[in-house]
Amino acid sequence: MATLILVRHGRSTANTSGVLAGRTPGVALDEQGLAQAAALPGRLAGLPLAAVVSSPLQRCLQTVRPLVDARPGIETHHEDRISECDYGDWSGRKLAELGEEPLMTVVQQHPSAAVFPGGESMRAMQARAVDAVRDWNTRVEAEHGEDALFLMCSHGDIIKALVADALGMHLDLFQRIHADPCSVTAIRYTRLRPFVLKLGDTGDLGSLTPRENGASDNSDSTESKGAAVVGGGTGAP
């Protein structure tokens, strides 16, 4: 079947302010995120993409815009099922504040049981995203052949959930996966099993550099304590 190129949106204003954006309207890419999006066409040069499918949220649409502009005539689609998790009442709140909520322990250690107040469950989030990928795999293969490549631009938790499914991992283990802003993950689907070909590739190893004493960002300070950043981290500074 087709090969899926998963791109997380570029760094957003919510990422740098430590806010769980969710589906809050008006969350845009920051200056670094716009630069990441501008570099995407060059990073994917030479890949014959059959289609670009994006979450309808602004930060994803901004991320794929330079790529679409660089490839006139490429099929472009919006897909609600790969939109951000509906965090409900958590949306728009500071991650540091949410870390004190009892539910955060469930989100970190038993996400398959997590249901966000006023929002959706993490199981439902994964199920809809996996269904979307399977449907688009079938559609792209039917229209462009089994060797076709297509791109989906989505969000950190969605991408982590899709990778967990591809690896045959229980959702309760998906917090072990990380996807930086504008990172590229590639999954080739076959009749018998998916193959994860790339995971969270940015071409930049800066995020591995040890922080100077006292310096941290939201993702670094959270992950140093063994917890995953809900919604995804900020990536390299």
pTM: 0.91
Cα dihedral sign, 232-233-235-237: positive
Q: What is the pLDDT of residue 217?
A: 47
| 52 sits in which H/E element | strand 49-54
The pLDDT score that the predictor gives to residue 190 is 92
Distance CA 110, CA 174 (A): 10
Residue type, 128: R
What pLDDT does residue 129 have? Answer: 98
Give the model's pLDDT for residue 151: 98
Q: Which residues of the chain have pLDDT under 70?
A: 207, 211-225, 236-237
Give me the CATH code for the 3-205+215-223 domain, please.
3.40.50.1240
- Given this model, what pLDDT does residue 216 score? 44
**Spatial contact of 200 and 235, defined as CB atoms under 8 Å apart:** no
Sequence length of the chain is 237
H/E element, 66:
helix 58-70
